[in-house]
Amino acid sequence: MSILSSIKNRLISIIQLILVFIYIIFEEIIWEGIAKPIYEAIHSLAILQKLELKLQDANPSFILFLFVMLLVVVEGAGIYAGMLFVSGQMVFGMALYISKIPIAAFTFWLFRVTEDKLMQFGWFKWMYDFIMRGIDWLKSSAIHKSTMAYLASMKLWFKEFKARHFGGSSPFVQKLKKIYTSLKNALKR
Task: Please give the model's pTM, rounded to 2 decimal places.
Answer: 0.61
Q: What Cα–Cα distance (Å) separates residue 73 from each residue in 7, 44, 60, 76, 162?
A: 38, 24, 20, 5, 40
Q: With a cut of 80, say whether residue 10 has pLDDT above it.
A: no
pLDDT digits over 93-104, tens only? Answer: 888 888 888 888
So where are the chain's domains?
2-140
Range of lowest pLDDT (55-64, 74-83, 98-107, 157-166): 157-166
Looking at the chain, the whole-number percentage of residues with pLDDT higher than 90 is 18
More confident residue, 42 or 89: 89
The model's confidence at residue 62, banded by pLDDT at 50, 70 and 90, is: very high
Looking at the chain, the whole-number percentage of residues with pLDDT higher than 70 is 82
Q: With a cut of 80, say whether residue 18 has pLDDT above it.
A: no
